[in-house]
Chains A and B, each alone.
Chain A
Amino acid sequence: MNIGELLRSFPELTVTGVTQGAIYALVALGYTLVYGVLRLINFAHSEVFMVGTFAALFTWGLFGLDSNTERPSIGVALLAILAAIVVAAVTSAAVALLIEVTAYRPLRHRNAPPLAFLITAIGASFVLMEVAGSLTVRRPFGVPALLPSKPLFDIGGWAVTPTQVTTVVVAIAMLVGLDYFVQKTRAGRGIRAVAQDPNTAALMGVNKSRVIALVFILGGLMAGVAAVFNDIKTGSTKFNVGFLLGLKAFSAAVLGGIGNLRGAALGGLLLGLIENYASALFGSNWRDFVAFVALIALLMFRPTGLLGESLGRARA
């Protein structure tokens, strides 16, 4: 226990925790959306994220940026990030949709038992990860330096870098946008209806297949955005980058109450903070350990997560 360390670097830990939490939250939304509608742990979602990290890298390659190039001017950097967000989000959404169509939809047509879905999810995850591993020769790829590393502002020790600001701002924008979409639009009402009661929703004229496809696309979009910022934050990517992050993001979704959009956001944020505080307290080796202990302890006392389950019932 190193309480002094925690207190000394509390502001910095909070800032990095919130940034990490924002990435977790974006990925967690994908898990939670699919779970809310299909009651299915989409194990392949971590690979959707992984594909996004490479799509972003590819986009930056088109800008002539790689890990050896000089830091570009701020305008070019922002443009490159914006382009990467669009490309990665679209690619990830396409992959998510592909998984739904090839791995899940045929099972739904046959009304397969839930565990069969889990296995096809694992299968899809294997396929994507291994194909990416073969294509990239299983080596890590460096990410170009984009935003300046000098802190943007510094208030009482709360030094915040441009990367962190961009990550959090974009994540919040995505979260608010998604929440608005699910709450206020016609398509969002369809999602909530199917989440609440798929059969009744279908009888009321909601196109269930289209809603499910939409849910996968939304999750993929979020994962793609998260992938871009994870690239920038960690400075490299690899074919198995999705595995641990997916695990964490899924934990975050459960922490907040799986199937609950705001819960996923809250869970991601909390997990990011807990991890950072824990690594100061117990050393960074124990970061993940503490995160899982916190998750299990929470589930003991609130078995359905912080904000409770269900996309439809709790009005998000």
Chain B
Amino acid sequence: MSALRERLRISNLPKPARYSLGALGLVFLFLLPNKWFYEYLGIPLGFAYIPLYTTKNDMASVLFICTWIILLSLGLNVVVGYAGLLDLGFFGFFAVGAYVVALLTSPESKLLTEYNWLESPWPWLVAVPIGIALSLLAGVLLGWPTLRLRGDYLAIVTLGFAEMIRIVAKQQDWILNGDRGIPEVGHPPGSVGGEPLFSFDAKPYYWLALCVIILAVFLIRNLVRSRVGRAWVAIREDEDAAELMGVPTFRFKLWAFAIGAAVGGLSGTLWAGQANFVNSTTFSLENSILVLSAVLLGGAGNIAGAILGGFLVIYIPEWLRSVGDVFGLPETVTVGGSTYDISPTSLRFAIFGIVLIVVMIFRPQGLWPNRRRAAEIQHRKKEVAVGE
């Protein structure tokens, strides 16, 4: 059985099979946001089927949310999964990316209206590299003093960092304009037949984000297979041993932090392009925690796992919202004179919480883990401490 599984592993398939599988997968992903395509996807159930698409929200928007969360998970996976640094405030870097794009491309930005730093709004495409660069800088600036802290102390400092960014964003009279936010954020360039390609429809953004993800996966994969990646894994496994073996741990930790931050910022720039409106309410701490659970649910230390996790944390709650529609479940129930909302829409995060607990109990390595890490965790099981 295990021999067969070994043979069927994608990496063990012959090259042509692997490439055609990959190409098929890509075609599927690019077709996915089209209504004529996703309408037919579902779990067969007798004569009917349970649709896999989402009914409450437009499928393309849901898919776009999935893509930028996946991008965030990819970034956080470098920090948590490879280098083993617990970062609870990853969404802060996303905020940096999003705000840089908003400030530079919106005609309403205070850089134009109050400070006169800019003559006119910049194009989105110019703002993106600046957004990424500044997120990277934010990562270095945060990492430089704090990466000497270990484990849980680092966690609280990163968490504080994300909260600080949110508080700065919340100030009404400051440059970021608080809850009122920055409207009319620039869109990516390009037009089809006179119509701008990127406006409010989420579909083109999904395709763009998909291309960005493919690029990011390629870069990160090469990085983790290089000396840098080996250094990260060494630090994750045992920081002191790595240092003694001559790995400059601080420098590589800073690298991991900066690269993760840059990918997070990139995700923010994409999101800002589509959202068209950036304000402080998006950057709540819950989102940082959601991304972290995406990485660990999918399987820390594995790129495919991070992608799977990022997809599931958005898709499961959204899909659960649709399930009630499909089965015609009652939305409310009245007990003892008071009415309670029991629709999957309102309970979706509770159900998601249960899913997190159950998965972690039965698969603590995540759904699609790194093979070496999974083996280590399997090994740990045999070393259950005394008194348990």
Contacts and interface: CB of A to CB of B under 8 A. Distances in A.
Nearest to B152: A41
Contacts of B293: 119, 122-123
Nearest to A289: B167
A46 to B, nearest CB: 11
A6 interface: no
B178 to A, nearest CB: 9
B163 A112 contact: no
B361 A107 contact: yes
A171 to B, nearest CB: 23
A299 B157 contact: yes
Nearest to B178: A285
Contacts of A149: none
A123 B341 contact: no
Interface in B191-226: none
B386 A202 contact: yes
B31 interface: no
Nearest to A305: B153
B149 A110 contact: no
Given A110-B364, A111-B385, A289-B167, A243 B354 contact: no
B145 A300 contact: yes
A122 B295 CA distance: 13
Contact of B360 (A41, A120, A131): A120
B383 to A, nearest CB: 6
Given A111-B385, A113-B377, A134-B346, A118 B164 contact: no
A69 B385 CA distance: 55
B388 A108 contact: yes
A135 B365 CA distance: 34
Nearest to A125: B353
Contact of A107 (B168, B341, B352, B364): B364
Contacts of B377: 112-113
Is chain A's binding surface mostly helix, strand, loop or mixed? helix
B296 interface: yes
Given A111-B380, A209-B387, A254 B356 contact: no
A189 to B, nearest CB: 16
B300 interface: yes
A250 interface: yes
Interface residues of A, number: 59
B161 to A, nearest CB: 8
B361 A110 contact: yes
A1 interface: no
A184 B385 CA distance: 27
A12 interface: no
Interface in A288-313: 288-289, 292-293, 295-296, 299-300, 303-304
Contacts of A286: 167
Nearest to A297: B145
A292 B160 contact: yes
A134 B341 contact: yes
Interface of B: 80, 86, 145-146, 148-150, 152-153, 155-157, 159-161, 163-164, 167-168, 170-171, 285, 289, 292-293, 296-297, 300, 340-342, 346-350, 352-357, 360-361, 364-365, 377, 380-381, 383-388
6 contacts: A108-B388, A116-B296, A130-B350, A198-B387, A199-B385, A293-B164
Instruction: List 5 A-B pairs, minimum CB-CB distance, nearest first.
Output: A202-B387, A126-B353, A123-B356, A130-B350, A112-B364
Interface of A: 35, 39, 41, 102-103, 106-113, 115-120, 122-127, 129-131, 133-135, 137, 198-199, 201-203, 206-209, 243, 247, 250-251, 254, 258, 285-286, 288-289, 292-293, 295-296, 299-300, 303-304
Given A199-B385, A295-B160, 13 more contacts: A108-B385, A110-B364, A116-B296, A119-B296, A120-B357, A120-B361, A125-B353, A129-B349, A130-B348, A137-B341, A198-B387, A285-B167, A285-B170
